Structure 1
Amino acid sequence: MAAILLAEDDDSMRRFLKKALERAGHSVIDAAQGDEALTELQLREFDLLLTDIVMPVMDGIELARRATEIDPEMKIMFITGFAAVALNAANQAPEDAKVLSKPFHLKDLVHEVERVVAA
C-alpha cells in the first residue's frame, strides 16, 4: 500500500486517522505540525501527504507547497473544516490537491486516500 505522511495538530484526531489508515494497510508517519512534517519529508519518500490546513508554526498549504518542491510527484490531500480556504486560488495550494472536508467518515477517508494514491 502507500507510504503516507500525516500532518494533523489535533492529537486525538491524528491518532485516530493514523490507526484507520494503518488498518487499511498503509504505512503512516505522523507529525503534530507542519515544520515536523517538513523534516520527515526531507528524511524519506512518501506517496501521499495528508495534511490539515490550519496548524501552528507552518500551515498545511505552506507544507504542501514545500512538499511539492521536494517531490513533485507526491500526491497531496487536505483534510480540513475550512474547504473554502483550500480552494481559494490566492493561497497557491497545489492545483491537483484533493480536499476532504471535516467531518468525514473514516471509510470515506480511506476510500479517498486509495483513490488519490492510485491516480
Structure 2
Amino acid sequence: MASVLLVDDVMIARYTLRLFLERGGHSVTECGGGDEAIPILSAQRFDVLVTDVWMAGGDGLSLIRRIKTAELGLPVVAVTGGAPRAPQEYSVDEAQKAGADRVLMKPVGLDELLRAVAEVTAERLD
C-alpha cells in the first residue's frame, strides 16, 4: 500500500484520518502543519500527501503549491472543513487552483478517503 504523509493541525482530525488510512493498509507519518511537513518531505519519500487546507503553522495551500512547484510528482489529497468566513466551496476551489489532485470536504468518510488515495496513487503510476 501507500506511504502517506498526513498533515493536519487539529489532533483529533489527524488521529481519525490516520486510523482510516491505516485501516486501508497504508503506512502513515503525521505532522501538525505545513512548516513541519517540509523537512519531513526532504528527508523521506512518500507516495501521497494528505493535507488539511487551512492550518496554523503553515497552511495547506502553501504546502501544495510548494510541492507542485518542486515537481516532486507527489500526488496531493486536500481535506477541508472550509475557510474562516467563507463557504466550503471556496476552499475546494483554492485547493484545486493550488494543484491538489483531489479535494475532500470534512467530515471525510473512510471509503471516500481510501478511494481518493487509491485514485491519485494509481494515476501517478500511469
Aligned pair 1:114/2:126, yes or no?
no
What CA deviation, in whole Å up to 9, does each residue of 1:24-63 have, x standing for no partner? 1111100111111111111111111110011012100101
Percent identity over the alignment is 37
Aligned to 1:76: 76
After the TM superposition, which segments of 4 or more aligned residues of structure 1 sit over 6 Å from their partners? none
For 1:39 and 1:69, the matched residues in 2 are separated by: 16
For 2:108 and 2:19, the matched residues in 1 are separated by: 15
Equivalences, count: 117
What letter is aligned with 2:98? A
For 1:32 and 1:50, the matched residues in 2 are separated by: 12
The change in CA–CA distance for 1:61 and 1:88 in structure 2 (over 3 A counts) is closer
Which blocks of at least 5 consecutive residues in structure 1 are unaligned? none
SS of equivalent residue, structure 1 residue 78: strand
For 1:71 and 1:18, the matched residues in 2 are separated by: 26
Partner of residue 105 from structure 1, selected from 105, 109, 113: 109
Moved more, 13-22 or 68-77: 68-77
SS of equivalent residue, structure 2 residue 57: coil
The change in CA–CA distance for 1:92 and 1:104 in structure 2 (over 3 A counts) is closer
Partner of residue 85 from structure 1, selected from 71, 87, 91: 91
For 2:58 and 2:65, the matched residues in 1 are separated by: 11
Contact kept, 8 Å, 1:34 with 1:59, in 2: the verdict is: yes
Using the TM superposition, give the Cα deviation of residue 105 of structure 1 relative to its aligned residue in structure 2, in angstroms.
1.4
For 2:117 and 2:53, the matched residues in 1 are separated by: 17
The change in CA–CA distance for 1:25 and 1:55 in structure 2 (over 3 A counts) is same
**Normalised TM-score (structure 1):** 0.88
Aligned pair 1:40/2:59, yes or no?
no
Which blocks of at least 5 consecutive residues in structure 2 are unaligned? 83-88
Contact kept, 8 Å, 2:80 with 2:91, in 1: the verdict is: no
